[in-house]
């Protein structure tokens, strides 16, 4: 038997460490949590100070039995789970379980590393630490709080709305954001406005697209075409001159290396990856990739972090790389330093490549397409973060008439030095190749006046990137929760993806309506953010689990009792009759929204989709809401003909069906 046992979470991580760890070690993956709160009851002894009641998960009994057998015959037990709350708790609970089974506590060592590379592994095993009980208590508090919220609210939703629904401390607040944004869009009334641009001739040069910025010293308000034409007519015969031609150099600083949230946002915006997909691929890059010749290694540092710190060794390496491979002119005199968000764990590093010399192209052949794209994004962002700013030559031109009634202006810009944009750029900059040569006081002639109509636009629907940004800004959840939160509200049928947008379903809107009414604190943004701060204080050792839960629990239970008694069932009679027994059909809620169910249940179990009121343009049947149950589009919402399978007409939105029906009638 091996002398030492090493516990990690996943088989991939186990294989990578096995390549890197030399000596007499048995590496055993736990496959995630092994010991947790029971699945079918609260599992919290409220009257005993909110003491959690842990059980071995049924699916993990065999795994734990194997770990116990190995632990009893091992001289040392190294807990190498992830360096965060969840990893600390997974290892700690296994340790406590094995202690009760007779394994001496002094055999346990906690090892922490933020990258899976030979130097990091050697350092971690050479300098093990004690378990961080503050970290464990923070995980317990979050787990208990989330369990209390879900355990008490979800059954109310089952009883009043539909079976299988769920509520959560973070997921329900995230859903509220999406629902309220949808209502803003629905209620939005576009407002017409006009802008006026003009082209001028200055000493033989055309100065294009200067914008009317002031009329009589004020910002112009041009509500309609008549106003725009009236102003435009008044501009034609005036004398014009350049009153200002200011040149300056503008610097654009590089962005910091990635945190979890900024990686999710960039991967969505630049690669089209969902938050969940980004984290899955990042996990693969962190846990290790086989680079051939039996050389498996982690390509990036730990991907759940809110810090932008970089180790001194990594800074030294990337600065040498920039100087040698990109050019000394791109290297700043001193390393660029970035400030993490308030409350970030400063001991952690940002997400970066474990070695900048492992360029994306050098490992491309060993990666899947998606792994390569994400690694390339992380590598470029990290390298760029330690490069010089980009520099732009700018020329700001102001043109006035002789009486100074009207003012036009524009800033022309030309990229003079690419700086960090040599390797990384988030957007394409519109810039001039050559700046115009103009002088203050020069007379210019107006060549063309260009009025243009515009309408104010509603706020955009949330997508993965913008929702993650909003959750982070409001202090709701933590980096590790963003991706699973989005995934959960989609799986529950509360939200669907339409192209890249997150759109609430009718069911999602109903859930938010009920929860805001009966659980206002749980659904309040500021309350949720304050609770996150208190949970962070447990991790820092400045607060304790019991006091925070005692403060939350009594008021919450009062709301539970009130909701149980006063929340009305979300059921109503319909105009339809059951074709099987003749009883009235009731409108009920399900994961795809409303549906019809026979009021004579359980004697009659007839159910069918609720007609949308829109007719099938192909056969005239009712269009009904459906959800794909298999294939690539599994879970997607669509509308199909009620005469299926005789008519297989499907459409993504009702407006398209209405238009097609109109074309057919025409």
What are the DSSP calls for 175-209, one per residue?
Answer: HHHHHHHHHHHHH----EEEEEEEEEEETTEEEEE
- CA-based Rg of the chain, rounded to a whole angstrom? 31
The DSSP call for residue 258 is B
What whole-number distance in Å separates Cα of residue 273 and Cα of residue 370?
Answer: 9
The verdict on whether 302 is a catalytic residue reads yes
What is the residue whose two structure tokens read 């491979």?
A: 325
What whole-number distance in Å separates Cα of residue 453 and Cα of residue 228?
Answer: 9
Three-state SS across 480-523? HHHHHHHHHHHHCCCEEEECCEEEECHHHHHHHHHHHHHCCCCC
The secondary element (H helix, E strand) that includes residue 411 is strand 406-417
Three-state SS across 159-180? HHCCCCCCCCCCHHHHHHHHHH
Helix axes 133-160, 525-540, angle to 10 degrees: 150
What whole-number distance in Å separates Cα of residue 256 and Cα of residue 385?
Answer: 5
Strands 76-79 and 55-56: unpaired
Q: Is 366 exposed, middle or buried (0-12, 13-18, 19+ CB in 10 A)?
A: middle
Long-range Cβ pairs for the range 60-64 (8 Å, 24+):
60/30, 60/31, 60/33, 60/34, 60/35, 63/30, 63/31, 63/34, 64/34, 64/35, 64/94, 64/97
- Number of residues written out for the chain: 666
Helices (H) and strands (E) in the chain, counts: 18, 26
Give the active site residue among 97, 152, 286, 302: 302
- 9 and 90 Cβ atoms separated by less than 8 Å: yes
Q: How many CA atoms lie within 13 A of 38 on its CB side?
A: 8
The two tokens of residue 11 are 């088989």
Task: Please name which of 98, 121, 102, 79 lies closest in space to residue 35, comparing C-alpha atoms.
Answer: 98
Q: Could you tell me the CA-to-CA distances from 334 to 21, 315, 465, 542 in Å, in that order?
A: 36, 10, 32, 36
Positions marked catalytic: 302
């Amino acid at each position: 038997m091996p002398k030492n046992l090493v516990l990690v979470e996943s088989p991939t991580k186990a294989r990578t460490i096995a390549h890197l760890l030399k000596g007499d070690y048995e590496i055993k993956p736990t496959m995630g949590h092994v010991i947790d709160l029971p699945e079918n009851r609260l599992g919290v002894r409220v009257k005993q100070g909110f003491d959690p009641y842990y059980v071995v998960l049924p699916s993990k009994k065999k795994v734990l039995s194997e770990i116990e057998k190995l632990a009893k015959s091992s001289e040392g037990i190294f807990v190498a789970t992830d360096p965060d709350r969840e990893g600390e708790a997974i290892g700690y609970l296994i340790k406590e379980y094995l202690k009760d089974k007779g394994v001496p506590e002094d055999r346990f060592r906690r090892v922490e590393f933020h990258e899976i590379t030979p130097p990091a592994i050697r350092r971690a095993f050479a300098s093990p630490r004690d378990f961080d009980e503050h970290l464990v208590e923070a995980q317990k508090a979050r787990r208990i709080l989330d369990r209390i919220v879900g355990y008490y609210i979800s059954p109310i939703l089952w009883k009043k709305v539909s079976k299988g629904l769920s509520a959560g401390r973070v997921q329900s607040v995230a859903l509220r954001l999406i629902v309220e944004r949808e209502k803003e869009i629905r209620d939005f009334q576009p407002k017409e406005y006009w802008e006026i641009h003009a082209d001028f001739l200055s000493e033989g040069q055309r100065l294009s697209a200067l914008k009317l910025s002031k009329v009589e010293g004020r910002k112009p308000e041009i509500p309609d075409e008549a106003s725009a034409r009236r102003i435009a007519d008044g501009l034609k015969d005036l004398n014009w001159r350049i009153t200002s031609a200011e040149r300056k150099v503008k610097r654009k600083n590089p962005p910091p290396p990635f945190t979890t949230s900024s990686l999710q946002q960039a991967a969505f915006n630049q690669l089209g990856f969902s938050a969940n997909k980004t984290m899955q691929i990042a996990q693969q890059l962190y846990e290790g990739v086989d680079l051939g010749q039996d050389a498996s290694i982690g390509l990036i540092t730990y991907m759940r972090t809110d810090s932008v710190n970089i180790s001194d060794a990594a800074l030294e390496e990337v600065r040498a790389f920039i100087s040698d491979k990109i050019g000394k002119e791109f290297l700043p005199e001193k390393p660029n330093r970035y400030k993490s968000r308030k409350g970030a764990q400063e001991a952690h590093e940002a997400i970066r490549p474990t070695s900048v010399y492992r360029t994306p192209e050098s490992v491309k052949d060993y990666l899947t397409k998606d792994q390569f794209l994400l690694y390339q994004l992380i590598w470029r962002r990290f390298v760029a973060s330690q490069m010089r700013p980009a520099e732009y030559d700018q020329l700001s031109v102001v043109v006035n008439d002789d009486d100074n009634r009207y003012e036009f202006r524009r800033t022309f810009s030309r990229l003079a030095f690419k700086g960090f944009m040599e390797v990384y750029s988030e957007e394409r900059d519109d810039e001039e190749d050559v700046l115009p040569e103009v002088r203050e006081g020069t007379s210019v002639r107006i060549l063309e006046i260009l009025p243009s109509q515009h309408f104010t636009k509603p706020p955009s629907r949330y997508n993965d990137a913008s929702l993650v940004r909003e959750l982070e800004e409001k202090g709701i959840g933590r980096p590790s929760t963003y991706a699973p939160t989005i995934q959960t509200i989609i799986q529950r049928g509360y939200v669907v993806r339409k192209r890249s947008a997150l759109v609430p379903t009718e069911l999602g809107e109903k859930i938010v309506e009920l929860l805001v009414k009966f659980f206002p604190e749980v659904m309040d943004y500021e309350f949720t953010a304050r609770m996150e701060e208190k949970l962070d204080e447990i991790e820092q050792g400045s607060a304790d689990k019991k006091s925070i839960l005692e403060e939350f629990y009594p008021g919450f239970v009062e709301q539970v009792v009130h909701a149980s008694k006063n929340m009305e069932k979300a059921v109503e009679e319909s105009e339809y009759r059951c074709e099987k027994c003749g009883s009235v059909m009731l409108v009920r809620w399900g994961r795809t929204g409303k549906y019809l169910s026979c009021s004579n249940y359980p004697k009659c179990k007839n159910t069918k989709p609720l007609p949308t009121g829109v007719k099938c343009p192909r056969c005239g049947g009712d269009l009904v809401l459906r959800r794909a149950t298999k294939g690539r589009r599994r879970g997607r919402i669509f509308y199909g003909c009620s005469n299926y399978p005789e008519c297989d007409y499907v459409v993504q939105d009702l407006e398209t069906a209405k238009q097609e029906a109109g074309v057919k009638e025409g």
